[in-house]
Structure 1
């Protein structure tokens, strides 16, 4: 008798399960502020023009600050994206001054550890006004245009959707803070592997020796006993 009760109960559960219906889960649209408020990333060419004058030798003192700032910006924003290009006007009556300026600029670039420099001269057609040009490629982030919260009805929650400005301030702050906007376009490439170090480690491994880096006498460490 008890067994028949079990069968009846199991049949009832099966019937209920067969009658039960579930509506598909519909994701709420517009809840991800990362996609609703895109940060636009544009490629720029940063340019600095240096004009030479009669009797001038090298970069004028009052322009050296501009050159240093430009080099620091290249080291910070442009080093990953190509060389620093130096364009010197050929046929200029100030050719000797420009050559001195190039040498001086190379010395300043060495202070910022800048080695990737390309020279690309151009024809000045003898014009004394043709400048020496420094240029590099960089990227710029354009923040989304966030609507003012004063223009939104934050009490309208019947649809359970976020308001149109949701996440916009976060994206605008990210656009303002990111060091290199090119990072928003994708991950950086990995640096090439140290082949010599890899060979050395493999040789030690094959010889059955430790591959760990040896610690110097100045390095020490101990496990704290403050918390047990």
Structure 2
């Protein structure tokens, strides 16, 4: 299977995959009913083509982005607190819609029609 370097990113930032024909490998599977060879397959080419099609910013394939999350010390201390059973419980909070205590009914019942 080819690696991600098969995906080409041009100057405009468009990702594309070259023709998969050179990557085609002969199939060693035989059709037992018809005794014919099955078509050759370019393993991994569809995966790379799909990645090139779906990626939001193809330049990310050329170079990664810096991690903006927590540093490793903070993350590892959180895991250690979990393992030690010293996790701070969540606060008991609730939200309201501003009409707390207002328990008025909806509309009134409909009257009968006039006769």
Shared fold (TM-score greater than 0.5)? no
Look at both structures and tell me which one has the larger radius of gyration over its CA atoms. Answer: 1
- Larger RCO, structure (CA 8 Å, separation 6 or more): 1
More helix by share: 1
